[in-house]
Amino acid sequence: MKAIVLPADKPELLTPLSNWTSDYLMPVVNKPVAEHLIELLLENNIREIIFILNHQPYETEEYFKAGERWGCNISYSLVREYHGAIDAISRIKNSIEEGFICFPVNMITNLDIAKFVNFHNETLADLTLPVTPVEIKQSGLNKFRPFIMSHRALCHITNIKGHIGIKEIIKNFSDAGLKSNAYKAEFHYSLIESLKDYVDVNRAILKGEISHITIPGKEIRKGLWIGRNSFIDPAAEINTPALIGENCSIKSSVSISEYSIIGDGVIVDSDSSIKRSIICEKTYVGTNTEINDSIVNQNFIFNLPAMSNLYVDDDTIIGNMEKNLFKEKLEKIFNIVAALFLFCLFTPVMLVLYIYHLLCPSKRYLDTITGYGGYGSRDMKGNPELSVLSQYYFKSSYSLIRKLPGLINVIKGDIRLVGNSILSEEENNLLREDWQKVRLNALTGLIHLWETEKSPVSIWEERMVSENFYASTRSFRDDIMILFKYFFHIKNLSAENDHQRELGSGLLS
């Protein structure tokens, strides 16, 4: 039997958490929520899993890959617009030859799947839903929950249109002569649909209220889990239940209260206090910093009682452990030096073309494109503000010739040699909000990933997919590879393969 995992129905309700990570990678006791589901499925010998992705899909696929780390087989289906379970499952019906079990990803449960599946098979039902004794007394099936569906029912739901709930599905099946059944059992399930749900489920697991959920790390004393390679100063005080992740450093005189979770790779500096808060991975908490009832992710603090988000621009208070200023400077120097080398190499060509531009001013052979180059600064709430960039280019049918003046922008530090393209206002508005957040967090560059493809990428949507992938996976090493590949593939590039709207369409005034 295959398992299908559905995306969160409304990830925006989990803002700002959903801005920081995908719904599949949302950490629950320092482990992605989808990983808890994988472990549950493997315990019951279900190894074929389909992830239906919608929100920040590249990060999810990069983390889980094909599932080899867990000994399972994970495949993916990407839906640009999520219109509910029926629509999403209908899209992959050709990949399913038998009955299947389905879960929403934003769920923590300890349901005994083996007994659930056996009950479904014994009753020969087309749809089986698990129900707790409390729900039977209340006569309500209001929350979305796991379900098992037969292949016959799968063929039927392709005719159902729209986003309908559980009760409507059961009624529709009944009208069509399909059998629905309820599996009565004692089990726990929590849908994470809000930040309150998110905090509550983390605390419930720490308290031991949800059984069969594996908390990463070693329980060194009752209610205190500590991950590998973590150092805790003897003078630090930690009250339980609490969880300290891997590769953490808790310095002298730090106070950590009950129901606090410290993510992997976190440093909490001396004399700081963490009370009933979740500190996400790779965050630095500075000396004498007090954090109460909050979710902290690097430079962001979300206070739960006030439901307010604050961006702290001072890395000595809270900051990003991944930020490597030396590496950033090294990359910047490399870009300037490489651009200077190319500029000197092509100076004769540029001089000839610039003289042509001066002799024929009406043709404006040397021109500029102006548009959005990514996020620049942030306001106090952490909302990113778009930066506006201008880039020089020649009006040539050859990609390399077109880009030569842009070397000046690289030398000035406006853009990098490799990165994403400048977007016009119209193009930026066409992007979905979550795609904007991913893509515009990347650096702007003169050369783009999609220009190195073996087959020319001419459709704007394909370019945006490529640039989102670049933004999600970008590294300095990859930038160097793209730079070399560009010159190897340059014969395949033409003006159509570059920015068609650089000739004047869609430019910001």
For tokens 């220009």, name the residue.
451
User: Between 502 and 290, where is the model more confident?
Assistant: 290
pLDDT for 141 equals 65
Q: Give the fold, CATH level 3, of 216-320.
A: UDP N-Acetylglucosamine Acyltransferase; domain 1 (2.160.10)
Q: How far is CA 380 from the centre of its chain?
A: 23
333: how many CB neighbours lie within 10 A of its CB?
Answer: 10
Q: What phi and psi, each to the nearest 5 degrees, are found at residue 54?
A: -140, -50
Average pLDDT over residues 26-40: 96
Asked if pLDDT for residue 495 goes beyond 50, the answer is no
Asked if pLDDT for residue 466 goes beyond 90, the answer is no
Closest alpha carbon to 180 in 132, 135, 131, 142: 131
Helix, strand, coil percent values for the chain (each to nearest 5): 40, 25, 40
- pLDDT digits over 307-330, tens only? 888 878 766 677 766 655 567 788
- pLDDT digits over 263-302, tens only? 999 999 999 999 999 999 999 999 999 999 999 998 889 9
Note the pTM of the prediction, 2 decimals. Answer: 0.72
- pLDDT digits over 198-243, tens only? 999 999 999 999 988 999 999 999 999 999 999 999 999 999 999 9
Q: Give the fold, CATH level 3, of 2-191.
A: Spore Coat Polysaccharide Biosynthesis Protein SpsA; Chain A (3.90.550)
- Pairing type for strands 231-232 and 283-285 reads unpaired
What six digits make up the tokens of 473? 């996976």
pLDDT for 120 equals 93
For tokens 């099946």, name the residue.
173
pLDDT for 493 equals 52
Among 34-48, 253-267, 336-350, 368-382, which stretch is predicted with the lowest mean pLDDT? Answer: 368-382
Closest alpha carbon to 297 in 308, 285, 314: 285
User: Between 377 and 285, where is the model more confident?
Assistant: 285
Q: Rounded distance, CA 101 to CA 147, Å?
A: 6
What six digits make up the tokens of 398? 């050859």
- Find the angle CA(190)-CA(194)-CA(198) to the nearest 5 degrees: 55
428 and 377 in contact (C-beta within 8 Å)? no
Q: How many residues does the chain have?
A: 509
- Pairing type for strands 366-378 and 384-394 reads antiparallel
322 and 282 in contact (C-beta within 8 Å)? yes
Cis status, amide bond into 384, omega within 30 of 0: no
Asked if pLDDT for residue 173 goes beyond 70, the answer is yes
Average pLDDT over residues 359-364: 89
SS3 385: strand
Q: What phi and psi, each to the nearest 5 degrees, are found at residue 280?
A: -70, 165
Helices (H), 213-346: 325-345
Query: CA 360, 361, 366, 367 torsion: positive or negative?
Result: negative
Closest alpha carbon to 36 in 45, 46, 47, 25: 25
pLDDT for 498 equals 45
Residues forming a β-bridge with 295: 278, 302
Q: Which residues make up the CATH 2.160.10.10 domain(s) of the chain?
A: 216-320
Task: Read off the pLDDT band of 147 (50, 70, 90).
Answer: very high
pLDDT for 343 equals 95
Asked if pLDDT for residue 419 goes beyond 60, the answer is yes
- Pairing type for strands 300-303 and 308-311 reads antiparallel
SS3 198: helix
| Whole-number average pLDDT of the chain | 86
Q: Which DSSP helix (H) or strand (E) runs through 49?
A: strand 48-53
- pLDDT digits over 97-114, tens only? 889 999 999 999 999 999
Q: Rounded distance, CA 28 to CA 278, Å?
A: 10
4: how many CB neighbours lie within 10 A of its CB?
Answer: 22
Closest alpha carbon to 422 in 371, 482, 490: 371
User: Between 452 and 139, where is the model more confident?
Assistant: 452
At 256, the amino acid letter reads I
Query: Angle 113-123/33-43 helices, nearest 10 degrees?
Result: 60
Q: Rounded distance, CA 139 to CA 131, Å?
A: 10
Cβ-proximal residues to 89 (8 Å cutoff; 6+ apart), any chain: 4, 6, 52, 102, 149, 154, 157
pLDDT for 118 equals 94
pLDDT for 499 equals 44
Q: Which residues make up the CATH 3.90.550.10 domain(s) of the chain?
A: 2-191
Q: What phi and psi, each to the nearest 5 degrees, are found at residue 119?
A: -60, -45
